[in-house]
Amino acid sequence: MLTRIDHIGIACFDLDKMVEFYRSTYGFEVFHSEVNEEQGVREAMLKINETSDGGASYLQLLEPTREDSTVAKWLAKNGEGVHHIAFGTADVDAEAADIKEKGVRVLYEEPRRGSMGSRITFLHPKDCHGVLTELVTSAPVESSEH
C-alpha cells in the first residue's frame, strides 16, 4: 500500500543556486544532502512536513555529476523542472511486484539504494501517463530518545 508522497524530484543545473531559491523563497532548509555515485547525482532533500505514518515529505533537488547520468540526459532534453514523483511504501518489493502484475513496467529488477539509505525502484513513465514514478521504502529513522 502506498502511504504518502515521499518526495518530488526536481532536476537542476546548479544545486547550490536551487537550494538558495527554495530557502529564500519558501523557507525550506536542507534536511540531508549526498552524492549518489551509482545514479550520478548530487542531491539535497528539503523537508516539507512530517506525515501520519512517521515518515516525511520532501523536495529532492538533483544535479548531475556526470554527463551520462539519467538526470543529465533528462536535463539536456527537458531543462530544469519536475523530474519524478515518489510514493512511500512500507515494502517496495511487494508494491513493485503488485504494480508489475497490473502491467506496469518496473525499471529495476531489484530495488536499489536511494537517498538517506532508502530502497527504491522506478516505474516506466510510458506506463504511468508520462510521469516517472518512484517507489520508496524509507530507512528506519533513529530516534533521539532512548
47 CB contacts (<8 Å, ≥6 apart)?
A: 28, 29, 31, 56, 57, 58
60 is catalytic: yes
Residue in 39, 63, 84, 95 annotated catalytic? 84
Report the alpha-carbon distance of residue 86 to residue 67 in Å, rounded: 24
Query: Can you list the positions of beta strands (E) in 14-118?
Result: 30-36, 41-50, 56-64, 81-89, 112-113
DSSP state of 51: -
80 is catalytic: no
76 CB contacts (<8 Å, ≥6 apart)?
A: none
39 is catalytic: no
95 is catalytic: no
Residue in 39, 60, 83, 95 annotated catalytic? 60
43 is catalytic: yes
Q: Provide the annotated active-site residues.
A: 7, 43, 60, 84, 134
